[in-house]
């Protein structure tokens, strides 16, 4: 029954960057980021379950339900990964905006 759905949606795949390799790389690192977040959460689950004892079962991991505090901490961790990952792009955007507003001011003069 596994993988009965097509891997790719039918329809035009837009190319965003001049070099299609860049489109592919951006796609790939976002997948990597997701898997990193998944791994972090598995570690977090293990740490929470093991805090007061020596062993843990697989079913405890699979059925682990974070409480409200833990849920919030995990949400913050996910947003933090997104924020850290996108730092280079943020920096680039800010630099462009600053540069553009300087150029515009000069033109107005």
Binding of other proteins by 83 (CB under 8 A): yes
Q: How far is the CB of 46 from other proteins (least distance, A)?
A: 10
Structure tokens at 31: 């997948």
Give the x/- contact pattern for other proteins in 12-51, rule: CB under 8 A: x-x-xx----xx--xx--xx-xxx-xx--xx--x------
Name residues whose C-beta falls within 8 Å of residue 37's C-beta, 6 or more positions apart in sequence.
Answer: 77, 78, 81
DSSP summary character for residue 12: -
Q: Which H or E element spans position 95?
A: helix 87-108
Q: How far is CA 45 from the centre of its chain?
A: 19
Interface residues with other proteins (CB under 8 A) are 1-12, 14, 16-17, 22-23, 26-27, 30-31, 33-35, 37-38, 41-42, 45, 61-62, 64, 74-75, 78-79, 81-83, 86, 89-90, 92-93, 96-97, 100-101, 103-104, 107
């Amino acid at each position: 029954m596994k993988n009965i759905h097509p891997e790719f949606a039918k329809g035009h795949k837009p190319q965003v960057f001049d070099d299609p390799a860049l489109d592919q790389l951006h796609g790939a690192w976002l997948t990597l980021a997701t898997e990193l977040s998944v791994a972090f959460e598995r570690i977090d689950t293990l740490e929470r379950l093991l805090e007061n004892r020596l062993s843990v079962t697989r079913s405890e991991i699979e059925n682990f339900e974070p409480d409200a505090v833990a849920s919030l901490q995990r949400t913050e961790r996910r947003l933090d990964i997104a924020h850290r990952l996108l730092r280079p792009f943020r920096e680039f955007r800010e630099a462009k905006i600053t540069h553009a507003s300087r150029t515009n001011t000069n033109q107005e003069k």
